[in-house]
Chain A
Amino acid sequence: MGIETLLGDTVLTTKISEFVGWSRKYSLWPFPFATACCGIEYMSVLNSDFDLARFGAERPSFSPRQADLLVVLGTITYKMAPVLWQIYHSMSEPKWVISYGACASSGGMFRSYSVLQGIHLIIPVDIYVPGCPPRPEAFLDSLIKLQKKVAEESVVNPEYKAKADYLEKALGSTEYQISKNNTKQQ
């Protein structure tokens, strides 16, 4: 965050990390990026049968500036991919991404000309949830796993620095080749 990075890894900063992790994990504000069927299962999670409020995450934020958890719910197409990228980069640090469902994780059953085969191609993902659509209990399970991950983050060496470096390198570099196949024009 700030000055504590100068102190290095001491008992003071580990205690601060624990406290910050504890407060972050029980108040994650999700941004539900609902595109398709998984969005309806998210509605089930929000409502009283599967109650997301007991995890402190019931305030869905529809402005990316105010959210810290991006939940991608549903199929992402090539037309929607720039929108998702823009929203991810509008969120401020620290931020995490849950890729909910088969379509967001890998394109799902749609191996076709318009569906992005997994959102990891454009944004870094923390938790993948398999299912088509995954049960609401799977969402809660993934949230608990994410809470463990959030709690272990250190304030001295925060994760977001590593992610930011990775993103800068990936977007700026030309080390990998996009597999351009024979794109014959119609």
Chain B
Amino acid sequence: MEGARHLPGGVMRINIGPSHPATHGILQNIIDLDGETVLKAVPVIGFVHRTFEKMAESYTYNQFLNCTDRMNYVSAPMNNIAWTNAVEEMMGLTIPPRAQVVRTIINELSRITDHIICNGVLGVDVGAYTGLFYLYHYRELITNIQEKMTGARLTTTFTRVGGLEMDIYDGFADDVKEIIRSFPKILKDFEGLFIHNRIFIDRTKGVGAIDTATALSYGYTGPNLRATGYDYDVRKAYPYLVYDQVDFDIPVGVDGSAYDRFLVRNEEMHQSLRIIEQLIDNIPDGPFQLDDYHITLPPKMDVYTKMEELIYHFKIIMDGVIVPEGEFYSAAEVANGEIGFHIVSDGGKSPYRVHVRRPCFWYYQSFPELVEGGMLSDLIAVMSSLNVIAGELDG
């Protein structure tokens, strides 16, 4: 039996998506099938291209935070922190320690929400709904913290250039400690459902495997690269915020398959909890933003009563932060990998050009290589375990 290629009908071409339950967002794949085996897969993207890079040319540096929210909308504060970090590095600023520690805590909480969705939905895509329902309550608790911090559940627009936009609320430490106290047990229940589950292992072990050299050739970063065995993490390689002062490990996998990616993300959630635990009791006192009113807004009472502060406030709201002329690239570690901001400034109030190096865009290119030769159901597991967020892929 030679397969469908030799039958008169031949190979069947089907279309998955763009609107499809098993795709994380809008992704279209046109695949050629021989029975259940995928012969060729062609991804089509661009269905939610929202022109962030062009909009940046008419926004100020602080207004662009609205755009970074909506890139990886599952963990919006991480992109915000990556952007303000990039602008501050370009300007050569060092923000106060209080702001750095709070940013790190929110960064790790946000990473946990992203991995909750990725691992939970990987379970849903291979048929197990219960895991997502167990974990989702903790995503709600973390979005409640984000809402109390910034006013919005999902599109947080967290931090400004020069520090935080407002100080942490009373009870922040208690809320976070409640999560650290109760989340590990639920995570253990979740792991019990999947890690030694015969069906889950059969669906994901060895599926979509890739070796490190090919992965690096494609520009993989993040958990997908770490699952192949190479331990690159921007937090350890080029430390920023307070990552060089805390203790944490980088989990790596073995063969880069969907199972290994699941395990790497799962362990990263544990490591994030470890980082938060080390920081939450030691938030330093002090100012939450830089004392330079050319960059940060002065306190409101001073704006109402003093002249210079009023002028500074006006200049910052109208013109924003002025970044010196030049070209700069800075990277940070979001949940999917390395996000890079390539900023070209001409000394004006808006950037001349912003290019976002989106991790999803680089590793989703390898999708045909990962699924060709496998079965159709493996394609679904691979797409799910890669964690492709359509907003970040820019379609």
Contacts and interface: CB of A to CB of B under 8 A. Distances in A.
Interface of A: 33-37, 39-41, 43-44, 47-49, 60, 62, 74-75, 77, 79-80, 83, 87, 109-110, 112-115, 132-133, 135
Nearest to B44: A79
Given A40-B74, A83-B19, A112-B51, A35 B137 contact: no
A75 B54 CA distance: 17
Nearest to A76: B48
B136 A36 contact: no
B21 interface: yes
A112 B154 contact: no
Interface string B35-77: 0000000000011111100110000000000100110011000
Given A37-B70, A112-B55, A80 B155 contact: no
B155 A37 contact: yes
A47 B132 contact: yes
B136 A49 contact: yes
Contact of A40 (B46, B132, B154): B154
Contacts of A110: 50-51, 55
A43 B137 CA distance: 11
B153 interface: yes
B47 A77 contact: yes
B133 A83 contact: no
Contacts of B291: none
Interface in B70-120: 70, 73-74, 117
B133 A48 contact: yes
Given A36-B70, A133-B154, A80 B47 contact: yes
Given A36-B73, A48-B136, 6 more contacts: A35-B26, A44-B139, A49-B136, A112-B51, A112-B55, A113-B51
9 contacts: A37-B73, A40-B74, A40-B154, A41-B154, A48-B133, A62-B20, A80-B18, A83-B18, A133-B153
A49 B48 contact: no
A133 B143 CA distance: 13
Interface in B336-390: 390
Q: Quick one: which of B26, B74, B143, B155 has the most chain A CB within 10 A?
A: B26
A36 B49 contact: no
B50 A75 contact: yes
B229 interface: no
Contact of A35 (B21, B25, B140): B25
A109 B133 contact: no
Nearest to A37: B73
Interface residues of B, number: 33
A79 B159 CA distance: 33
Contact of A34 (B25, B50, B69): B25
A41 B155 CA distance: 11
A46 to B, nearest CB: 9
Q: Which 4 A-B pairs have the closest CB atoms?
A: A37-B73, A62-B21, A112-B51, A47-B136
A85 to B, nearest CB: 12
A115 B50 contact: yes
B219 interface: no
B115 to A, nearest CB: 14
B391 interface: yes
A110 B143 CA distance: 24
Contacts of A135: 153
Given A34-B25, A36-B391, A133-B155, A114 B49 contact: yes
Given A33-B19, A36-B48, A114-B49, A49 B140 contact: yes
A49 B136 CA distance: 9
Contacts of B153: 41, 133, 135
B206 interface: no
Contacts of B284: none
A115 B54 CA distance: 13
Contacts of A62: 19-21
Given A35-B25, A37-B155, A135-B153, A79 B140 contact: no
Q: Quick one: which of A40, A48, A83 has the most chain B CB within 10 A?
A: A40
A39 B49 CA distance: 16
A11 to B, nearest CB: 43
A113 B73 CA distance: 21
Interface in B154-183: 154-155
A83 B132 CA distance: 29
A62 B155 CA distance: 26
B6 to A, nearest CB: 33
B395 interface: yes
B20 A112 contact: no
A60 B22 CA distance: 13
Nearest to A63: B21
Contact of B51 (A36, A115, A133): A115
B390 A36 contact: yes
Contacts of A132: 155
A137 to B, nearest CB: 11
B118 to A, nearest CB: 12
Contacts of A33: 19
Given A33-B19, A37-B391, A62-B21, A112 B50 contact: yes
Given A47-B136, A87-B19, A37 B154 contact: yes
A39 to B, nearest CB: 7
Given A132-B155, A133-B154, A35 B136 contact: no
